[in-house]
C-alpha cells in the first residue's frame, strides 16, 4: 500500500466526486466492477467547499494496494480511522473536518480514494493534511510503512538510481492534450531511457561521482542547469529541457551506497521490517502525529483575526479636538455637570475613536461592531448572500460564454467554449444544490435553538 496524494484542487469538488463515482475512467473505459461508496459524506464535502473563499478548496488522493494485497472492508475501515487520527490529529471527524471515501477495483487492485475539504468546520480556517516540505514525505512514508507492516504487506522500496517523475508527469500528463503536455510526452521516453542507462553505468562502476554523471549526460544533449536537487538536460533536437531528479542526481550523492541499495531493492529483508525498524518507524509516526495534533489544536483554539473584520465601518482616524478641554473639566469634579461633560464616559484611555459604531436605538444598549451585525441580517439567512452572489457570478459567466459561442466563427474555438459552458453548467448545478442543502441545515439548526430556549 502507498498513499498517493494527487494534489490540492481549485476546481469544483462536485466534479472530483462525480469522477470518483463515475462508471467510466478518464479514457472512457467502463469500470468493472463499478465504484462503491465506502465512508464519509458527499453532501458535507459540497457544503464545506462551497463555504471556502480561498483558491485551494480540497485535496484528493488514493491509498493504492498491490494486486496481491486484498484487505477486507473491516481492515480498510481501520486504515481510514488511523488515517484521520494521523493526518488530521487533534481534530474530530464530523465536527472539525469532513471527507468522502470510495473504492475502485477496476484495475485488478483496490484503490481507496479520498476527498478532504481544506477547511476547519467550526472556525472556517484553512487546514492542510499534507503541507509542503520534507516532513510531509516522512509523515506519509511512516504511515505507509506502519500499515504495510500491520497488514503483512511488502514495504514500498524505491529504486534510488531511477529518475523520479514529477506530479505533472504522473497525474496531469496522461489526461492532458495541451501543447506543453505534447512536448513532454515526446521527451518522456528519452528521460526514462537516459535514467535506465545511468543506472546501468553506475552498476558497472563507470559513474562514481557527480562530475562523471554530468560528463555522461552530455552524450545525450546539453546540460542547461545544475541544482542541489536536480540536473536539467535538453537532449539533441529538442526545444525543451527536462529535469532529472532523484537521490542519484542530488549534490553529495554517495554512488557506492546508492548502488548497493539499488541492487538489494527487491531483497526479502528490504520488503519486511524487523522489530528494530518497526519501532523506529512507529517512533517517527508518533513524533510527527504529536506535532500535527499540537498545531491543529492551537489552530481551533485561536480566534479568527485579520480578514474576519472586513465588513466593519471605519470613521475618521484623528482624535476629536474637544478631547483636550474634557480633561480640564475632569480635573474639577466640584463643578456642576455641564454639556461639556457629556463625552466623559466615551473617552476611556483605550477607546478607538476612529471606529464608527452604530447608534443604539431607544431602550436598547449599544451593540459592538461585528461582521454579522454590519451585514444587516440575522439568523440562518446571514450566510446566504455570499453564496447567492457566487452563483449569480457563475451564471453571468455562463451567459457571457453563450454569447461568445453564438459569435464564434472558428468551429474549434466554438467547440472549446461549449465544453467550458457545459462544465460551468455542472458547477452552477452543484453550487445551487449545495446552497439549498446548507440553507436547509442552517434553518433546522436555528429552529432547534429557538425551541430550546
CATH number where 65 lies? 3.30.930
pLDDT (average), residues 85-89: 97
Q: Which residue would you say has higher pLDDT here, 345 or 188?
A: 188
Residue 216 located in a structural domain: yes
For residues 151 and 31, membership in a common domain is answered with yes
Most confident range, picked from 10-19, 127-136, 301-310:
10-19
- CA-nearest of 122, 131, 129, 142 to 2 is 142
Report the DSSP beta bridge partners of residue 437. none
pLDDT value at residue 449: 44
For residues 97 and 228, membership in a common domain is answered with no
pLDDT value at residue 151: 96
Q: Which residue would you say has higher pLDDT here, 255 or 420?
A: 255
Written as nine digits, the cell of 113 is: 480514494
Q: Which domain holds residue 430?
A: 384-448
For residues 234 and 282, membership in a common domain is answered with no
pLDDT value at residue 377: 37
For residues 75 and 220, membership in a common domain is answered with no
Per DSSP, the residues of 338-407 read: -GGGGGGGG--TT--TTB-PPPPPTTSPPPPP-HHHHTT--GGGGGHHHHHHHHHHHHHHHHHHHHHHHH
pLDDT value at residue 315: 47
pLDDT, tens digit (0-9, with 9 covering 90-100), for 105-154: 999 999 999 999 999 999 999 999 999 888 888 999 999 999 999 999 99
For residues 141 and 284, membership in a common domain is answered with yes
pLDDT value at residue 269: 63
Residue 343 located in a structural domain: no
- 33: preceding bond cis by omega (within 30 degrees): yes
Residue 78 located in a structural domain: yes
Domain count, the chain: 3
Mean pLDDT computed over every residue of the chain: 78
Asked if residue 255 lies in contact with residue 202, where contact means CB atoms within 8 angstroms, the answer is: yes
pLDDT value at residue 27: 83
For residues 107 and 43, membership in a common domain is answered with yes
For residues 136 and 179, membership in a common domain is answered with no
Q: Last residue of some domain: 282, 301, 320?
A: 301
DSSP state of 229: S
Residue 107 located in a structural domain: yes
**φ and ψ of 375, to 5 deg:** -70, -15
For residues 294 and 150, membership in a common domain is answered with yes
**φ and ψ of 30, to 5 deg:** -65, 135
Residue 330 located in a structural domain: no
Residue 428 located in a structural domain: yes
For residues 35 and 103, membership in a common domain is answered with yes
Tell whether the model's pLDDT for residue 390 goes beyond 70: yes
pLDDT value at residue 453: 39
Tell whether the model's pLDDT for residue 318 goes beyond 70: no
CB-based contacts of 34, cutoff 8 Å, min separation 6: 23
Tell whether the model's pLDDT for residue 280 goes beyond 90: yes
Tell me the pairing of strands 221-226 and 36-40. unpaired
For residues 120 and 234, membership in a common domain is answered with no
pLDDT value at residue 364: 42
Q: Which residue would you say has higher pLDDT here, 378 or 164?
A: 164
pLDDT, tens digit (0-9, with 9 covering 90-100), for 394-440: 888 888 888 888 887 777 777 778 878 888 887 887 777 777 777 76
For residues 126 and 25, membership in a common domain is answered with yes
Residue 353 located in a structural domain: no
pLDDT value at residue 214: 95
pLDDT value at residue 178: 55
Residue 336 located in a structural domain: no
Count H helices, E strands: the chain? 14, 8
pLDDT, tens digit (0-9, with 9 covering 90-100), for 162-199: 887 654 444 444 445 555 455 555 555 678 889 889 99
Tell me the pairing of strands 111-117 and 100-104. antiparallel
CA distance 117 to 172: 21
Q: Which residue would you say has higher pLDDT here, 322 or 190?
A: 190
For residues 68 and 183, membership in a common domain is answered with no
Cell 440562518 belongs to: 380
Amino acid at each position: 500500500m502507498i498513499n498517493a496524494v494527487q494534489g490540492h484542487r481549485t476546481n469544483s469538488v462536485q466534479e472530483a466526486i462525480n469522477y470518483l463515482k463515475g462508471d467510466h475512467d478518464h479514457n472512457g473505459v467502463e469500470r468493472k466492477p463499478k465504484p462503491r461508496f465506502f465512508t464519509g459524506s458527499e453532501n458535507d464535502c459540497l457544503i464545506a467547499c462551497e463555504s471556502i473563499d480561498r483558491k485551494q478548496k480540497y485535496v484528493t488522493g488514493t491509498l493504492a494496494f498491490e494486486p496481491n494485497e486484498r484487505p477486507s472492508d473491516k481492515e480498510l475501515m481501520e486504515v481510514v480511522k488511523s488515517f484521520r487520527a494521523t493526518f488530521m490529529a487533534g481534530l474530530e471527524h464530523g465536527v472539525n473536518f469532513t471527507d468522502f471515501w470510495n473504492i475502485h477495483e477496476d484495475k485488478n487492485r483496490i484503490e481507496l480514494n479520498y476527498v478532504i475539504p481544506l477547511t476547519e468546520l467550526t472556525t472556517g480556517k484553512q487546514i492542510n493534511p499534507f503541507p509542503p516540505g520534507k516532513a510531509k514525505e516522512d509523515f506519509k512514508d511512516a504511515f505507509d510503512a506502519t500499515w504495510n507492516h500491520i497488514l503483512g504487506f511488502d514495504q514500498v522500496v524505491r529504486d534510488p538510481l531511477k529518475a523520479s517523475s514529477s506530479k505533472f508527469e504522473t497525474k496531469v500528463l496522461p489526461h492532458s492534450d495541451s501543447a506543453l503536455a505534447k512536448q513532454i510526452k515526446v521527451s518522456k521516453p528519452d528521460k526514462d531511457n537516459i535514467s535506465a542507462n545511468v543506472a546501468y553505468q553506475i552498476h558497472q562502476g563507470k559513474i562514481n561521482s557527480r562530475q562523471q554523471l554530468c560528463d555522461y549526460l552530455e552524450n545525450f544533449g546539453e546540460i542547461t542547469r545544475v541544482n542541489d536537487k536536480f540536473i536539467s538536460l535538453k537532449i539533441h533536437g529538442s526545444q525543451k529541457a527536462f529535469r532529472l531528479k532523484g537521490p542519484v542526481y542530488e549534490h553529495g550523492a554517495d554512488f557506492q551506497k546508492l548502488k548497493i541499495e539499488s541492487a538489494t531493492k527487491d531483497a526479502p529483508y528490504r520488503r519486511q521490517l524487523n522489530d528494530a525498524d518497526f519501532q523506529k518507524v512507529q517512533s517517527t509516526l508518533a513524533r510527527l502525529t504529536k506535532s500535527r495534533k499540537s498545531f491543529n489544536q492551537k489552530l481551533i483554539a485561536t480566534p479568527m483575526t485579520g480578514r474576519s473584520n472586513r465588513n466593519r465601518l471605519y470613521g475618521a482616524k484623528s482624535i476629536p479636538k474637544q478631547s483636550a478641554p474634557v480633561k480640564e473639566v475632569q480635573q474639577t469634579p466640584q463643578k456642576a455637570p455641564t454639556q461639556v461633560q457629556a463625552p466623559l464616559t466615551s473617552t476611556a484611555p483605550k477607546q478607538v475613536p476612529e471606529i464608527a459604531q452604530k447608534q443604539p436605538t431607544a431602550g436598547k444598549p449599544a451593540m459592538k461592531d461585528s461582521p454579522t451585525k454590519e451585514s444587516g441580517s440575522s439568523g440562518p439567512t446571514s450566510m446566504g448572500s455570499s453564496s447567492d452572489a457566487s452563483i449569480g457570478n457563475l451564471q453571468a459567466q455562463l451567459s457571457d460564454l453563450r454569447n461568445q459561442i453564438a459569435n464564434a466563427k472558428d468551429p474549434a474555438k466554438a467547440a472549446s467554449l461549449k465544453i467550458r459552458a457545459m462544465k460551468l453548467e455542472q458547477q452552477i448545478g452543484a453550487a445551487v444544490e449545495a446552497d439549498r442543502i446548507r440553507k436547509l441545515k442552517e434553518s433546522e439548526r436555528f429552529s432547534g435553538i429557538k425551541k430550546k430556549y
